[in-house]
Amino acid sequence: MHNCNKSWLNLLFLSMRKIIHIDMDAFYASVEQRDNEALRGKPIAVGYSEARGVVATASYEARKFGVHSAMPSLTAKNKCPGLIFVPPRFEVYHEVSMQIREIFLEYTDLVEPLSLDEAFLDVTVNHKNNPSASLIAKEIQQKIFEKTGLTASAGVSCNKFLAKIASDWKKPNGFFVIPPEEAEKFVENLKIEKFYGVGKVTAQKMHEHRIFTGYDLKQRSETELVKLFGKAGHSLYSNARGIDEREVEPNRITKSISTETTFLQDKNDRILLTVELYHLAKEVMERMQEENFYGKTMTIKVKYADFKQITRSKTLTQKVTEFRQLWPVARDMMKLIDLSEQPVRLLGFGISNAGEEIEKKDTQLELWLF
């Protein structure tokens, strides 16, 4: 949607922001190699080697064999027979994540973590009054290495879309800047697989429409892109021009908390599945308490043996704050899951819909101020 709000002045302002994206290199694997000398220089995969196991991440030595995140462990073993599997130690990854976050916060409060190992920083204005985002990014990489013994890659540009591409450009231990004046040319040459939100399925569809690069994307109108790709069409249209207006959002509001498990063997016994659900619900409750997030809607997700997926949700009138409120409802929802046709491969549980009380309060406050 192009409208008069997007004046040239607005666009100029947006192109003057200084955004950094930091992403740790082969994160879980690097931590394991750091803490165990015997694993250094070796092809390792963090994850379990069992039948249904998947690789969380692989060391760079293993990636040479084609092993990567989310690959089934069996496939990984076939590709790289000498692959060493290491079980994950989430507490340690979490600890490192907190250490790097502390470093980011020395520079700006505008830090938006995307996962344990990556974050966006808006350093347009920063605590060090350092006008160079590149120097800040390099300093951060240096500090991360000193504090954790691990390397990170950094990308610098004027928006999130470009900064994230930049951090990936020279991995590992990479540093890359996309200056605003070079953005458009840079994006023209970019493969569409690198665009935000373009996974395998979308990429395939783009290829069918003869879109392979940023340049190809730029030839299409916004209306056409929306027709082809739905809502994502708007951001594809902007991104193809090197534009991304999204702000760096610190304390991004949690919208839902969920967890899921894939069974080693498919299950169709309702009692066993209810026991599994109990563990998932316990975990979700713990995380709700940790994050101080309480929602009204509970959702059960089931993936059957043939990969068909269904969800069942129930919304309560009040937020769930205790397990004894949650469990009877979740248990009853489980009774509604059809087990007559196929066994279950994956079970998930989540909670969402925290309501909008806080936002409403803010609006009232604004009225007062006027």
Which of residues 19, 20, 22, 26 is near ligand DCP by CB under 6 A? 26
- Please tell me which residue in 102, 112, 118, 341 is annotated as part of the active site: 118
CB within 8 Å of 5: residues ≥ 6 apart: none
For ligand DCP, the closer of residues 20 and 354 by Cβ is 20
Question: DSSP string covering 127-172, please?
Answer: TT----HHHHHHHHHHHHHHHHS--EEEEEESSHHHHHHHHHHT-S
CB of 137 vs Mg ion, minimal distance in Å: 15
Residue 118 annotated to the active site? yes
Binding to ligand DCP in span 166-205, by CB under 6 A: 171-172
For ligand DCP, the closer of residues 118 and 122 by Cβ is 118
CB within 8 Å of 331: residues ≥ 6 apart: 274, 277, 278
CB of 84 vs Mg ion, minimal distance in Å: 20
Contact call for residue 56 and ligand DCP (CB under 6 A): yes
CB within 8 Å of 142: residues ≥ 6 apart: none
3-state secondary structure of 10: helix
- Choose the binding region for ligand DCP from 110-118, 270-278, 311-319, 362-370 (rule: CB under 6 A): 110-118
Which of residues 112, 117, 122, 244 is near Mg ion by CB under 5 A? 117
- Choose the binding region for Mg ion from 15-23, 84-92, 143-151, 325-333 (rule: CB under 5 A): 15-23
Contact call for residue 244 and Mg ion (CB under 5 A): no
Is the CB of residue 277 less than 8 Å from the CB of residue 334? Answer: yes
Euclidean distance between CA atoms 249 and 186, whole angstroms: 26
Contact call for residue 68 and ligand DCP (CB under 6 A): no
Helix H or strand E encompassing 357: helix 357-369
What does DSSP say about strands 118-122 and 309-315: parallel, antiparallel, or unpaired?
Answer: unpaired
Residue with tokens 């290829």: 207
CB of 91 vs ligand DCP, minimal distance in Å: 15
Question: DSSP string covering 197-263, please?
Answer: T--HHHHHHHHHTT--BHHHHHTS-HHHHHHHHTTHHHHHHHHTTT---PPP-TTPPP-EEEEEEEE
Contact call for residue 28 and ligand DCP (CB under 6 A): yes
Which of residues 32, 33, 57, 280 is near ligand DCP by CB under 6 A? 57
Q: Count CB atoms within 10 A of the CB of residue 289.
A: 13
The site partner of 122 among ligand DCP, Mg ion, none (C-beta below 5 to 8 Å per kind) is none
Contact call for residue 120 and ligand DCP (CB under 6 A): no
- Choose the binding region for ligand DCP from 20-28, 128-136, 195-203, 263-271 (rule: CB under 6 A): 20-28
Contact call for residue 246 and ligand DCP (CB under 6 A): no
The site partner of 369 among ligand DCP, Mg ion, none (C-beta below 5 to 8 Å per kind) is none
Tell me the residue type at 268: N
Token pair, residue 56, equals 């969380």
Euclidean distance between CA atoms 216 and 192, whole angstroms: 9
Contact call for residue 32 and ligand DCP (CB under 6 A): no
The site partner of 70 among Mg ion, ligand DCP, none (C-beta below 5 to 8 Å per kind) is ligand DCP
Binding to ligand DCP in span 147-166, by CB under 6 A: none
Binding residues for Mg ion (CB under 5 A): 23-24, 27, 117
Catalytic residues: 118
> Which residues would be at the binding site for ligand DCP (CB under 6 A)?
23-28, 56-57, 69-70, 115, 117-118, 171-172
